[in-house]
Copies of this chain bind each other. A is one copy, B any other.
Amino acid sequence: MAERPFAAARARSPIPDATVARLPLYHRVLLGLADQGMATVSSDALAASAGVSPAKLRKDLSFLGSYGTRGVGYDVAHLLGQIGGELGISLEWPVVVVGVGHLGHALANYGGFATRGFRLAGLVDADSALVGSVVAGVTVQPLAELADIVRAENIAIGVIATPADAAQGVAELLIDAGVQSILNFAPVVLAVPDDVEVRKVDLASELQILAFHEQRKLSSPLMAPAVGDAL
């Protein structure tokens, strides 16, 4: 790897996944600094605001290019533009949310949607009692319409907020309609082709990871008594 076959037109070297996962964070923090009127920022200051180490931040940014000025720091507006460009924020990505339960409602009403380059282009639910209602300014449509919506709106990203047992079927509908990126909130492992990217968010898993660490604290020899255990 990293052999750079023939350096085709667009072949900037690939950005590591770990770095990509932090770009939205940097972008958000920079937005805040820009709001405060800060014109330049050092890697130390930016790293502190983002909660990462300065070395990690500099390494991450170095994969995008050399956008800093030695002895000075980074130009906030310019760096915002560069990271925004990588993230495709200049475009407006149409997104469809499938499942309009409590979570679907929350997602549809999520404020950061529009400001971060996304547009709620469709809202779909299998429950006919919900179909036709308007949520966050969008009319809920039946599941049967999903494929048409995806094609009509040129949707590239689908969000699954259904119960677990409906998620795989919805994923297949999305993929058949051409969606290649899925954000899955249902607690199931989706089976998808290799060219489809799935990211998952699982509340229960996050809580259980926290509980694991809490439990370690309880059973460690250094502390335990005071706590007294729930249940």
Partner-B contacts on A (CB < 8 A): 8-10, 20-21, 23-25, 27-29, 49-51, 86-89, 91-95, 101-103, 105-107, 109-110, 112-113, 116-119, 153-154, 156-157, 159, 180-183, 187, 189, 191, 197, 199, 201-215, 217, 219-221, 227-231
| Contact present for B21 and A209 (CB under 8 Å) | yes
Give the CA-CA distance A25 to B107 in the complex, in Å: 24
Residue of A10, A21, A94, A206 most packed against chain B (CB within 10 A): A206
Beyond A197-B210, A201-B203, 4 additional contacts (C-beta under 8 Å) are: A21-B209, A50-B189, A157-B214, A199-B209
Q: Which chain B residue has the least Cβ–Cβ distance from A14? A: B216
| Partner of A189 from B49, B156, B191, B210 at Cβ < 8 Å | B49
Can you list 14 A-B pairs with a CB-CB distance of less than 8 A?
A: A23-B208, A24-B208, A28-B187, A87-B208, A87-B215, A91-B211, A91-B230, A93-B214, A95-B207, A101-B106, A102-B102, A116-B208, A157-B207, A180-B217
Copies of this chain held together in the complex: 2
Q: Which residues of chain B are within 8 angstroms of A197 by Cβ–Cβ distance?
A: 210, 213
**Minimum CB–CB distance for A20 against chain B, Å:** 5
Q: Which chain B residue has the least Cβ–Cβ distance from A190? A: B51
**Minimum CB–CB distance for A167 against chain B, Å:** 13
